Structure 1
Amino acid sequence: MKKWKKVLLHVLTVLLVMAGVCGYFLFLYPHEQDFVESYYKVQSDKLTSHLRIVQLSDLHLREFGENNCDLVARIRALKPDIIAITGDMNDKKSDDTHVVTDLCAQLVEIAPVYYVPGNHEWPKIVFEGSKLASDLEALGVHFLADKYETVTIGSNTLLIGGIAEAPVSYEKYASGFLEDFAAQPGYKMLLVHYPEYYAEDTGALIGKDIDMALCGHAHGGQVRLPFLGALYTPDQGFLPDLTEGVQTISGTKVIISRGLGDDVGQILPRINNPPELVIIDANWY
């Protein structure tokens, strides 16, 4: 092939790639800024009737409508029995928590709210004196930092627990709580920000007697590739397995939210990965 033809081919290739990128950001990306809904169904003989759970995760101070009115309106319309929040609703780069507290003040009027902190919240609470936990509890939110509660909703009685610690701190700070929680009879739902607790071969919660675990943290991998899924997460590396959806791992239904927002100051936007609101229907049939 003549040199000028090779140059022309390279130029055309670059132009096609640029056109594809521009087309995505002009026509597809704007539609991916609204949250989508993902529905999952689970069954258990330990529950006697239908139970609907709405899960929120990784908001990072984002707002859908003024004061999150669009998000709240949709959650209200879904009529959940429980609202589960799996961390990082606030952001470590901000000390202003009003987006989170204002949202939760509205959510507690819809259904009981159970909240486990994530890596953007728990260190600030433990080491920097953040009052987020006490502010949420004053609103009526059940803040679950390495503890659990027994809950009765309709004819269902279940235990809802939360692990606040990162996996690296599990043995020192959370293993005692988890062993006690897992030993309890009844249906057990665990809120744990980090899906890496269920990583193959190394996950500390694999094999524990927990019926359902709700996680977030991975942001769906931030960038999702057609046919391949998530590209990368800092804690799981390239082509990670634990970024979204539902998996059954050693008898536990593990449900991972892609989250609703991005880290404050995040340079790389979500690509092919819209914000997500998760709806779980237990014993729908």
Structure 2
Amino acid sequence: MSTDKVRLSRRHWLAAAGGSCGIGGGLLAESVFVAPCLLGTTRLSVGKPTADQQPLRLIQLSDLHLRSFGELHTELLATINAAAADLILLTGDTLDCRRGIGPLEEFLRQLPSGPERLAVIGNWEYRAEIEPAAFQQLLSHHGFRLLLNESIMLEHHGQVLLVTGFDDLIGGQPTRPQRMFSPSVPVDHLVLAHCPATRDLLPSLLESEVSLVLSGHTHGG
């Protein structure tokens, strides 16, 4: 794992889309889903910030299954822009097939430019025969970092968030991050994995305690 810290420039400290198990710094959850002609948004607050902390707003985008770009995606982008997120997370299955690459790039181009951007791969990227290296190159053109069995530290106003992203359980192979991070003091640890069943493997994959796991795959199930 790289120990280089990415500094978040926005003023809020923590938020997320999905369930949780005890983030200490306080999370504002923003979950946006599309199914298949309906746009829905779920907002969750996770944890309680102390007097000297401010929440960080995270947006999770999962299972877009893009094969075209239309009115619904324009509406989704408007919702994302209005949320004023500090961190945007892609948790896999961004497209259905290789012809979805163009619509995906159009979608990514229109995301707000300010937030930090992280992603993990899903089973449909593998099914479309898009290799992780090619997916990383595509994402990097739009400011995303693909976490493939990798951890990264994010820092904002002296507060540290450890983020670990895993390869897909179905199409790939989740493994222990090559370089583990054992903080000297407790830090919040966010795990990204497309398939929720990856959570069952975490005790054998990680040494650090996990605060929150964000996944996709089940389309809200």
TM-score by length of 2: 0.69
Map of 2:180 onto structure 1: 180
Moved more, 204-213 or 96-105: 204-213
1:97 correspondence with 2:101 = yes
Rate the CA distance shift 1:153–1:98 in 2: closer, same or farther, 3 A. farther
Q: From the superposition, tell whether residues 158 and 176 of structure 1 become closer, same or farther in structure 2 (CA, over 3 Å).
A: closer
Rounded to whole Å, the distance in 2 between the matches of 1:44 and 1:194 is 28
Provide the C-alpha distance between the structure 2 equivalents of 1:133 and 1:67, rounded to a whole number of angstroms. Answer: 26
> Cα 1:152–1:108, aligned 2, differ >3 Å: closer, same or farther?
farther
Paired position in structure 2 for 1:134: 137
8 Å Cα contact 2:122/2:171 also seen in 1: no
Counterpart position of 1:219: 219
Quickly say closer, same or farther: Cα 1:56–1:130, change in 2 above 3 A.
Answer: same
- 1:189 is aligned to 190
Aligned to 1:49: 54
Q: How far apart are the structure 1 equivalents of 2:68 and 2:100?
A: 14
Correspondence for 1:112 among 106, 111, 116: 116
* Alignment match, 2:202: 205
d(CA) in 2 for partners of 1:72, 1:154: 28
Q: Do residues 153 (structure 1) and 156 (structure 2) align?
A: yes
The answer to whether structure 1 residue 37 and structure 2 residue 41 are counterparts is: yes
Letter in 2 for 1:215: S
What is the match of residue 71 of structure 1? 76
Q: Cα distance 1:167–1:186, how it changes in 2: closer, same or farther (>3 A)?
A: farther
Unaligned runs of 5+ residues in structure 1 are 1-30, 221-242, 244-285
With CA pairs under 8 Å and 6+ residues apart, which has the higher RCO, 1 or 2?
Answer: 1
Cα 1:136–1:176 change in 2 (3 A) is closer
State whether residues 167 and 204 of structure 1, in contact with CA within 8 Å, keep that contact through their aligned partners in structure 2.
no
Give aligned pairs, total.
180
Structural RMSD (CA):
3.1
Query: Matched residue of 2:85: which SS?
Result: coil
Closer/same/farther in 2, CA of residues 206 and 33 from structure 1, 3 Å limit:
farther
* Residue-by-residue CA offset, 1:171-191 (whole Å, 9 max, x unaligned): xx51244x825x345211111
CA contact (8 A) 1:144 1:161 kept: yes
CA contact (8 A) 1:65 1:71 kept: no
- Contact kept? 1:67, 1:99, Cα under 8 Å: no
Q: Aligned partners of 2:125 and 2:36: how far apart in 1?
A: 26
Q: Distance in 1 between matches of 2:157 and 2:68?
A: 32
Unaligned 5+ segments in structure 2 are 1-34
**What residue identity is the alignment partner of 2:78?**
A
More helix by proportion, 1 or 2? 1
Once residues 64 and 210 of structure 1 are traced to their aligned partners in structure 2, the CA distance between those partners, rounded to angstroms, is 36
3-state SS of the aligned residue for 2:75? Answer: helix
